[in-house]
Amino acid sequence: MRLSASIVSNTIDLTLEQLQEALKLEYDEENVIQLMRKYCLESSSRDIQKKGMEFLYMNGFYDDLEILININEESPDPSNRQWAEVYKILYQLRRKEYQPISILDKINHLKTTEPELLCLLEFSKVNVHFNMNYYQELGNFLHRYDKLLPNIDDYYLVESFKIRYNQVAFIYTLMRNELIMARKHGYKLLNLTKNSAVHVDTHIKLGLSYTFDSYFQGMYHMKEALKIAKKNNITEAIDLIEQQNIPFLSAHFNKPEHITTTDKSEQAHLEIAKGNHEYAITILNEVPIDTPFRKYYLGKAKQDKTLLLQAYKDFVHKRSDYFFCRLPLNELRKLYI
Confidence band for 330, pLDDT divided at 50, 70 and 90: very high
Could you tell me the CA-to-CA distances from 298 to 189, 320, 322, 334 in Å, in that order? 36, 21, 20, 16
Residue 303: phi, psi to the nearest 5?
Answer: 55, 45
Model pLDDT for residues 105-121, shown as the tens digit of each residue: 989 899 999 999 999 99
Give the separation between CA 225 and CA 39, rounded to whole angstroms. 30
pLDDT at residue 6 is higher than 60: no
**pLDDT of the residue at 299:** 97
Confidence band for 9, pLDDT divided at 50, 70 and 90: very low
Give the separation between CA 121 and CA 127, rounded to whole angstroms. 10
CB atoms within 10 A of CB 6: 10
**CA 110 to chain CA mean position, Å:** 24
pLDDT at residue 262 is higher than 80: yes
Side-chain-side CA neighbours of 114 within 13 Å: the count stands at 18
**CA 124 to chain CA mean position, Å:** 12
**pLDDT of the residue at 183:** 97
**pLDDT of the residue at 11:** 52
Model pLDDT for residues 231-260, shown as the tens digit of each residue: 999 999 999 999 999 999 999 999 999 999
* Domain locations along the chain: 1-97, 195-256, 263-337
DSSP for 267-313, written as a single string: HHHHHHHHT-HHHHHHHHTTS---SHHHHHHHHHHHT-HHHHHHHHH
Which amino acid, one-letter code, is at 189?
L
**pLDDT of the residue at 337:** 64
Could you tell me the CA-to-CA distances from 70 to 63, 67, 79, 217 in Å, in that order? 11, 5, 14, 44
* Cβ atoms of 156 and 16 closer than 8 Å: yes
Q: What is the mean pLDDT of the chain?
A: 91
Give the separation between CA 323 and CA 211, rounded to whole angstroms. 9
Give the separation between CA 29 and CA 56, rounded to whole angstroms. 15
Give the separation between CA 324 and CA 315, rounded to whole angstroms. 7
pLDDT at residue 44 is higher than 60: yes
